[in-house]
Amino acid sequence: MTIQELKIGDSASMSKTVTETDVYLFAGITGDLNPAHVNEDASSKTMFGGRIAHGILSAGFISAVLAMKLPGPGTIYLGQELKFTKPVRFGDTVTATCTVSEIMAEKNIVKLETICTNQNGDVVIKGMATVMPPKN
């Protein structure tokens, strides 16, 4: 969607169940092999009581919403503020929702509230994205 088509309150979402394979592939791609993510024995002794997904893996679902749904293909990601509020565990279904909160038409910039929830409705990430929607 172009900036002229967007309205305050427009919203889009996507959901993904996070698997052990997702976490291991992400760890291999990024090099983030923190035991909290890949070592059951070590992570069982942490405050989480077991392995958790990388926070940035779940934040990637926000990127997918912005790139594929709202504003959609051609969107340029300029920035993201994130607060990780709860861990995402293997088998959790994360829903990323992006909602237009500010439109700066003269600069072709849009700000969107970004929230990720798990299958229980618990907020696992909240933040704000700044993007440039496509011009055409």
In the three-class reduction of DSSP (H, G, I as helix; E, B as strand; rest coil), residue 8 is classed as coil
The per-residue pLDDT for 95 is 98
Residue 124 exposed, middle or buried by CB count within 10 Å (0-12, 13-18, 19+): buried
Residue 94 per-residue DSSP state: E
Each residue's pLDDT tens digit, 20-70: 999 999 999 999 999 999 999 999 999 999 999 999 999 999 999 999 999
Question: How long is the chain?
Answer: 136
- Six-digit token pair at 100? 């237009």
Domain ranges of the chain: 11-132
The per-residue pLDDT for 136 is 77
The CATH code belonging to domain 11-132 is 3.10.129.10
